[in-house]
Structure 1
Amino acid sequence: MAHGEEKRDAVRHSYVNEILNLTTASAKHRVPESTARRWKIDAKSKGDCWDLARAAARKATGPAGEFTETFIEEFALQVHATFETLKEQGDSLPLPERTKILKQLQSMYGSVMELAGGNKSIEKMAVSATVIKELGHYISRYHAEHTEPFVQILDGFGPYIAQRLSE
C-alpha cells in the first residue's frame, strides 16, 4: 500500500521531534517499519538526515539541551574561578604547577566544547529548531488563527531545512 507525503512527514516528525524510535514512530502512524526505514534512507540520500535533525532537536529542547547549557555554564564558572585563584596566588605558585593547571584546563575546555558543539551541522540544526519553536510559540500566542496552517507548513519544512543546512 502506497503512503503519501503526509504519512512520511508524520513518521519523520515523531522520530525527530517526539524522539520516538523508528519502530514506535512507524507503529504510531500505521506504517510498516520497513517503509519507515526506506523513507529515512531515501531522505538521507537527498540531504535530509533524520538522525542529524533528531540530534539537533534533542540538543535544542528538553533535558538534553538544558543539561548541555547548564553544564557549559557551570564549567565556564569553574574556569573563571580557577583563573582568579591563579591570579591571587601570583608568583607563590611555582611555574610548573601553574603550567600544569593551565594545560589541564585547556584539555578539559577542548573536550567540553567538542561534546557541546563539535558537530557544526547539529549546531545549525539546533539553532534552526530553536527559532522554529519560538516562532511557533509566537504565532500561537499572537496569531492563533494561523497556528494550524503553520503546523501544516512545518511538516514539509523540516525535511527542506535539513537539506538546505546540510549543503
Structure 2
Amino acid sequence: MAHPAETRDKVRRAYVFDRLSLELAAVKVGVSYGTASRWKAAASEQGDDWDKAQAAQLMAGGAIEDIGRQMLAGLVIQYQSSMEELTKDSKLNPTIKVQLLASLADAFNKTISASKRLLPETSELATAMEVMQNLATFVRQRYPQHANAFTEILEPFGEELGKTYG
C-alpha cells in the first residue's frame, strides 16, 4: 500500500525530533517497521541521513547539560523499546536473551554513570530509573500478563520522571 509523502515525513519527524526509535516512530504514525526502514534507507541514498539529522538536532539543543538530558531521554526510550522486543520475542534462545539483557543493563549503568558527571540532578533521576528498572523486572517475572499494560504506562511515566528530576 502506498503512503503519502506526509506520512513518511511524520515518521522522519518522530525519529529525528522526538528521538523515537524507528520501530516506535513507525508505530506512532501507523506504518510497518519495514516501510519505515525502507523510507529511511531511501532517504539516506538521496543524501538525507536521518541518523545524522537526529544527532545534529540533539547537538543543537544547547549546553552540555541539555545534551546530557537528551542522552538520558534517548536511553529511556531505547531501553523501553529493547525491553519490549526482548519480552515479545518468544523464539529467542534463552542464552542469547540473557546476554542481551546483560548488555542492556550494562549500557544503562554506563550511561547513568556518565550522566552523573554531567548533571548533578542525575543522581536522583538515576535512583528513579533504577526503581523503574526493578519494577519492570518485577512485573515481567511475577505478573507477565500485565507486561503490555505496564509498557503502555512506562513511556508517559518516564516523561513525568524527566519533568520531576530532569
TM-score for both structures, normalised by structure 2:
0.41
Larger radius of gyration: 1
TM-score for both structures, normalised by structure 1:
0.41
By relative contact order (CA 8 Å, sep 6+), the higher-ranking structure is 1
